[in-house]
Amino acid sequence: MHDATPLIATIVGGLVLAFVFGAIAHRLRLPVLAGYLLAGVVAGPFTPGYVADAGIAQELADLGVILLMFGVGLHFSLKDLLAVKSISIPGAAGQMGVATGMGMVLGWALGWPLAQGFVFGLALSVASTVVLLRAMEERRLLDSDRGRIAVGWLIVEDLAMVLALVLLPAIGGFLGTGQGGPVPSMSELLTTVGLTIGKVVLFVAVMLVVGKRVIPWTLQAVSASGSRELFRLAVLAIALGVAFGAAHLFDVSFELGAFFAGMMMGESKLSQRAAEETLPLRDAFAVLFFVSIGMLFNPGIVVQHPWIVLAACLIIVVGKSLAAYAIVRAFGRPPKTALTIATSLAQIGEFSFILAGLGVSVGLLSAQARDVLLAAAIVSILINPLLFITLDRWVAKHDADAPDEHPIVKGHTVLVGFGRVGRRVFAELSALGAPILVIETDEDAVRELREGGEADVVIGNAAAGPVLAEANLAAARALIVAVPDPFEGGQVVRAARALRPDLPIIARAHSSDCMGHLSRLGASEVVYGEEELARRMVEVASPAPVATSHH
């Protein structure tokens, strides 16, 4: 038997441990992220037993972030980005400034050099892309106004980090704290800033002028070949190729390059298919991202410096969130939007680690400060899902208390999901004059439904008991689950069946396995898309029955 290479051992060990501890966390009704992080701690160098290759784990995690940002770009247009620039740019800048200032105050209180406090505070100011987008995707908020503001905020933070990572070595030398070498002058420092900004602007211009035409055309040409394998390969090649080229030709981060690649591919009519093709890889590498974070964690720092870790956590979870909330409210946005943005940003992640590592290498950050930063990151990532659960309950209660928001109807059909399939179902039911109540999380879809005035609408996750209670299932005629994700659909079916055992429940599936899964959870009827398509094609192709005369 061949010995496993570090790459294979890291992938296998990371995924197996993540599955084991993720399943345990799920069983204990804890966020699965907690299981993934604990898997990383077990595989890390600070605990006995198996130790994965930290360098390889980090590179695999970087792939996950690239694919994740590419997927976000697919659902994001330049118009969406420009629509939120008025709040995302000053909001992100203001929030980062407040968080950096708080980090510097903490550093001053601890007797750290000013430069160390600045780098430490800057690392506390930037949120994790993976954590934020996962939370948004779970709640289907990416296409909402709240989701667009959050993503725009992330892009601004990303650009700020690109500048910081380029300037940090120069700043270290300018302050005389770098690892030897000539000290740059102020003019050299300003030149470095100008070159960095110029490269970012040039990259964006190239993507808007060339990428906007070449990428959709390439995707269309490959799709015309009829090869699904080649199409999937083209999507991955474009995502990773543009990200790599952006980093090496323009000194732009992998994440920003992948985001723009996705945004340009979003101009193609095949963008939805491209998103579906990258989903499995994105999820797998996102898991490895959390495992890689856990590997960096040294539990000893919590025992050695508990108060410093606590102070850093308070800056991330409380200070940064309050700043974001105040800024969003100052721009006239409703409390729900402000709370969502504040909750989304109450954590730190990948850019913080990169910045901390670079800070240590150029002599601007001590190893102790780096370990405190990593501990605070772990704690904030573990707390963040709990904050979102609290937010979900607040939103559900707030919407339920709104006057005339959700009038109780009877004899209605409850439709969960207003996507492509849900819209068709809605149109058919409306044509029949049937009363409909729609459960949806996307704010734009809810706004569209309310403006049309053709249906009652409940905002929220249909798998939650309070949301289903608002839909008045006790008096409903039927429940149609039109969401595409079989796991999400299964949760809705199970919750509805528990509330009303005799309710007719119709769900959609993409495979025979999904059909069985939904049926076991309580669906009365499961519609399998490919099966229905095949049946209809046979009906059209079959000759009409010939009448025969009997003598």
* pLDDT value at residue 549: 45
What three-state secondary structure class fits 525?
A: strand
Q: Which of these, 496, 494, 395, lies nearest to 437 by C-alpha position?
A: 496
147 and 203 assigned to the same domain: yes
Any domain includes 551: no
- In this prediction, residue 550 has a pLDDT band, given cuts at 50, 70 and 90, of very low
* pLDDT value at residue 229: 86
Spell out the alpha helix ranges (H) of 297-409.
Answer: 300-304, 306-314, 320-330, 335-344, 350-361, 367-401
332 and 357 assigned to the same domain: yes
pLDDT tens profile 361-388: 778 888 889 889 988 988 898 898 889 8
475 and 377 assigned to the same domain: no
Is 463 within 8 Å of 505 (Cβ atoms)? Answer: no
Phi, psi of 312 (to 5 degrees): -65, -40
pLDDT tens profile 59-91: 888 887 788 778 777 766 777 777 788 899 899
* pLDDT value at residue 405: 44
> What CATH number is associated with residue 148?
1.20.1530.20
Any domain includes 408: no
**406, pLDDT greater than 70:** no
**339, pLDDT greater than 70:** yes
* pLDDT value at residue 1: 40
**Pairwise CA distance, residues 303 & 307, whole Å:** 9
Q: Around 109, how many Cα atoms within 13 Å sit in the side-chain half-sphere?
A: 10
- Which of 372, 399, 426 lies at the terminal end of a domain, its last residue? 399
166 and 222 assigned to the same domain: yes
| CA 463 from centre of chain | 20
- Which of 367, 399, 431 lies at the terminal end of a domain, its last residue? 399
Higher pLDDT, 351 or 335: 335
414-423 mean pLDDT = 86
Mean pLDDT (the chain, rounded): 82
* pLDDT value at residue 3: 56
Any domain includes 545: no
Any domain includes 292: yes
Any domain includes 425: yes
* pLDDT value at residue 24: 92
Is 507 within 8 Å of 462 (Cβ atoms)? Answer: no
pLDDT tens profile 272-298: 778 777 777 878 888 888 888 888 888
Residue 144 corresponds to which tokens in the numbers above?
């909402």
**Pairwise CA distance, residues 60 & 313, whole Å:** 27
- Which of 399, 433, 453 lies at the terminal end of a domain, its last residue? 399
pLDDT tens profile 358-367: 788 778 888 8
194 and 342 assigned to the same domain: yes
Any domain includes 26: yes
- In this prediction, residue 184 has a pLDDT band, given cuts at 50, 70 and 90, of low
Any domain includes 69: yes
The pTM of this model reads: 0.69
261 and 391 assigned to the same domain: yes
- In this prediction, residue 228 has a pLDDT band, given cuts at 50, 70 and 90, of confident
91 and 154 assigned to the same domain: yes
> What CATH number is associated with residue 456?
3.40.50.720
Any domain includes 195: yes
448 and 369 assigned to the same domain: no
Q: Provide the pairing of β-strand 456-459 with 413-416.
A: unpaired
Residue 7 corresponds to which tokens in the numbers above?
């790459």
pLDDT tens profile 307-324: 999 999 999 999 999 999
* pLDDT value at residue 170: 66
**Pairwise CA distance, residues 63 & 311, whole Å:** 32
* pLDDT value at residue 404: 42
* pLDDT value at residue 175: 57
Residue 183 corresponds to which tokens in the numbers above?
């000290």
Q: Domain tally for the chain?
A: 2
341 and 419 assigned to the same domain: no
Domain ranges, residue 437: 413-540
Q: State percent of the chain over pLDDT 90.
A: 17
327 and 454 assigned to the same domain: no
357 and 424 assigned to the same domain: no
383 and 462 assigned to the same domain: no
